[in-house]
Structure 1
Amino acid sequence: MQIIQTVVVKQILTEKSKQQLFEKYNSKKLQLQKECDQLQFELKRLEKTKNFSQVSLKNQFEKEIQFRKEKIKLLEFQIEQLHILPLGSELKEREVQALVEINVGDTWDVSLGQPTIIIKDGIVEEIR
């Protein structure tokens, strides 16, 4: 019988992967800042039209802007942590699903231990 099991994928931090993560976090941060600016622009534009309820409109836009600012703060924290982490650290990248073969007589705890795939610069380094 086959069952589906979650497998953790971890990445070993190298100079190359550190730079890629920094660029990824920075581009997300810039995108969120652009979205905040766009939302503020749209809010001002819609306030001038007077076709909408000013209070509910402003609350909705401020809620969206605040949501994005919180994401920006999280990205800034992640960038700080990235600079602190030493090379060779293992970072959890994601989780994937895998099929596992289970047979009568298998030891349950051994069969369903938490498998981990270790990646270094995009290449599978180890399967634990």
Structure 2
Amino acid sequence: MYFTHKTNSYTSLLGTVLDAWFICSEEEMAKFMGLYFFMGVVNMPTIRHYWRRPRLHNYSLLQQVMSGRHFRATLKHFHAFNSLAIPQDNCGRLIRVCTMMEYLVQQFQDTYLPEEHLSLDEGSLEWKGHLSFHIYSTTP
């Protein structure tokens, strides 16, 4: 897997070793990505809250898949691009995530094949963030 290779290369380039870190396998990276996507759906105040054991929010599945300490170590070392391959004259703001976006879009397209025509409009999506570039939407 691309992310496994880049994360392991980045960690060896840094030369840092944490007690919760070891060379990441493809299976561990798949678990990490699954947990990270889960965290995008289920919002908690901090990452540590997902591994707490209160009565109200007990996500024991997370604790069975990966320890919180190992997840945080993988998150710290996660790398999705080759910083040495970026041209010096590059001015694109999305250069660091382009490879990851292309990979994920391809994987999602290979996995999910909709059987009906689906559409979303701006009103159905909630956006509270700020973009540093402008998006112009022209209406026909």
TM class by smaller structure: under 0.3
TM-score by length of structure 1 reads 0.23
TM-score by length of structure 2 reads 0.21
Higher relative contact order (CA 8 A, sep 6+): 1
- As a proportion of its length, which structure holds more strand? 1
